[in-house]
Amino acid sequence: MTINKQVLMKTRPVGMPKLTDFQIIESKMPEVRHGEVLIKILWLSLDPYMRGRMSKAKSYATSLNEGDVIVGGAVGKVINSQTHEYKEGDIVEGFTLGWQEYAIVTPASIRKINPDLAPIQTAVGVLGMPGMTAFFGLLHIGKPIPGDTVVVSAASGAVGQLVGQIAKIGGCHVVGIAGGKEKCDYLTNTLKFDAAIDYKNENIDEMLDKYCPNGVNVYFDNVGGRITDSVINKLANYARVAVCGVISQYNLTAPEPGLRTHRAMLTNQATTEGFLVFQFAQKYHIGLERMAKWIKEGKIIYKEDVVEGLEKAPEAFIGLMNGKNFGKLLVKVSD
Ligand code: NAP
Ligand code: FER
């Protein structure tokens, strides 16, 4: 009999999640029925959108209830298949496998991964949801052209690091915004961004003037809040703002008063467009092929931040909300 370890949302977080909002339990796995697959989870992906699932706010996905296993993307190995589609040993990725050691799912909720293409955990990173967010969000929503100045916030994170590199491939002048010198040094020295702004220690407005003398043509926004107020006030004519995420707002209990940025949108005839990566689902194969090619050619590299053990997931998730991660945050659940 298989014993499953699971992480539950014990209490709905109010504001910044706390360790006591989570609970780890052990339970017996049920029998695998006809049409189902039993998966041993190897890698769990921790992503900011999960904070939204923990709240009651209206969303494309239903909210978690207290006592539910936390839903999340993961990569695992099929250890029992009662389907024609999958066999034992297959490596799969699923967006709803959850914070647990084992999951029983139906084929519709998983996809097969080619382990020869890249390390399997990239299926929840550069070759998965965050990678597709960067690729389609930048190219379809930001619409950069060579020579454009592209600014990206949360620039050393899972999505941001890829946005900047894709913009560099496209011949853009790239400025990243991140918290701390170590992250900023990584952006300029290793990822070859043209400049990086440490929003925790530098004056964002002054640095934007310095690094974006002709204004900002594309702003890929991962954070919202005061960083975004500053960038919007530096937009160039016909600028595009791709609203990918507003992590600075996810843990607030009341909306943060902000600058009025509409005058800058008006006078620059700028466009702002929010997007969810899923709107590009029909085109993922194009993005995945292109990203895999760039990785193979060494044009795109990716930084991972790996935490060992499922029981570390709550602490790591809280860290994600506080900028403790450096690169794509993953939990290694099992070998
Ligand atoms: P990530 O950037 O790897 O990690 C989150 C980062 O956000 C932290 O490391 C931290 O970096 C930064 N951050 C946290 N609190 C902040 C604050 N108050 N102000 C400014 N920065 C803060 O996460 P990710 O997976 O790549 O996600 C990035 C954003 O994209 C999130 O907003 C997420 O919701 C969004 N997203 C959207 C979609 C979509 O379909 N629209 C899909 C995927 C992700 P610093 O140390 O630099 O502050
Ligand atoms: C994300 C932030 C928000 C994300 C999805 C959402 C897939 C969607 C939120 C909503 O529907 O309310 O990072 O990633």
CA-nearest of 101, 104, 79 to 90 is: 79
pTM tops 0.75:
yes
- Hey, which of 124, 132, 151, 223 would you mutate to test ligand 1's pocket, going by the most ligand atoms within 8 Å of its Cβ? 223
Domains in the chain: ranges and CATH: 3-121+303-332 (3.90.180.10), 129-278 (3.40.50.720)
pLDDT at residue 61 in the model: 76
pLDDT at residue 223 in the model: 98
Residues belonging to the chain: 335
Residue found under tokens 């909300």 = 321
Instruction: Using alpha carbons only, give the angle 212, 143, 50 rounded to the nearest 5 degrees.
Output: 90
- Per residue, the 3-state secondary structure of the chain, as one string, reads CCEEEEEEECCCCCCCCCHHHEEEEEEECCCCCCCCEEEEEEEEECCCHHHHHCCCCCCCCCCCCCCCECCCCEEEEEEEECCCCCCCCCEEEECCCCCECEEEECHHHEEECCCCCCCHHHHHCCCCHHHHHHHHHHHHHHCCCCCCEEEEECCCCCCHHHHHHHHHHCCCEEEEEECCHHHHHHHHHHCCCCEEEECCCCCHHHHHHHHCCCCEEEEEECCCHHHHHHHHCCEEEEEEEEECCCHHHCCCCCCCCCCCCHHHHHHCCCEEEECCHHHHHHHHHHHHHHHHHHHHCCCCCCCEEEEECHHHHHHHHHHHCCCCCCCEEEEECCC
- Hey, which of 45, 46, 47, 49 would you mutate to test ligand 2's pocket, going by the most ligand atoms within 8 Å of its Cβ? 49
Q: Are the beta carbons of 105 and 97 closer than 8 angstroms?
A: yes
List the residue whose alpha carbon is closest to atom 11 of ligand 2.
59
Alpha-carbon distance of 272 to 41, in angstroms, equals 38
> Which residues form ligand 1's pocket by a CB distance below 6 Å?
47-49, 130, 133, 154, 156-160, 178-179, 183, 222-223, 225, 227, 244-245, 247-248, 275-277, 320, 323, 325, 329
Q: Are the beta carbons of 169 and 254 closer than 8 angstroms?
A: no
CA-nearest of 152, 128, 126, 124 to 138 is: 152
Alpha-carbon distance of 11 to 29, in angstroms, equals 24
User: 102 to each of 154, 241, 242, how far by Cα in Å?
Assistant: 32, 40, 36
CA 236 – ligand 1 centroid, Å: 24
pLDDT at residue 243 in the model: 98
Alpha-carbon distance of 189 to 116, in angstroms, equals 30
Q: Which residues of the chain have pLDDT under 50?
A: none
> Which residues form ligand 2's pocket by a CB distance below 6 Å?
48-49, 52, 59-60, 245, 276-277
pLDDT at residue 179 in the model: 98
List the residue whose alpha carbon is closest to atom 13 of ligand 2.
49
CA 171 – ligand 2 centroid, Å: 29
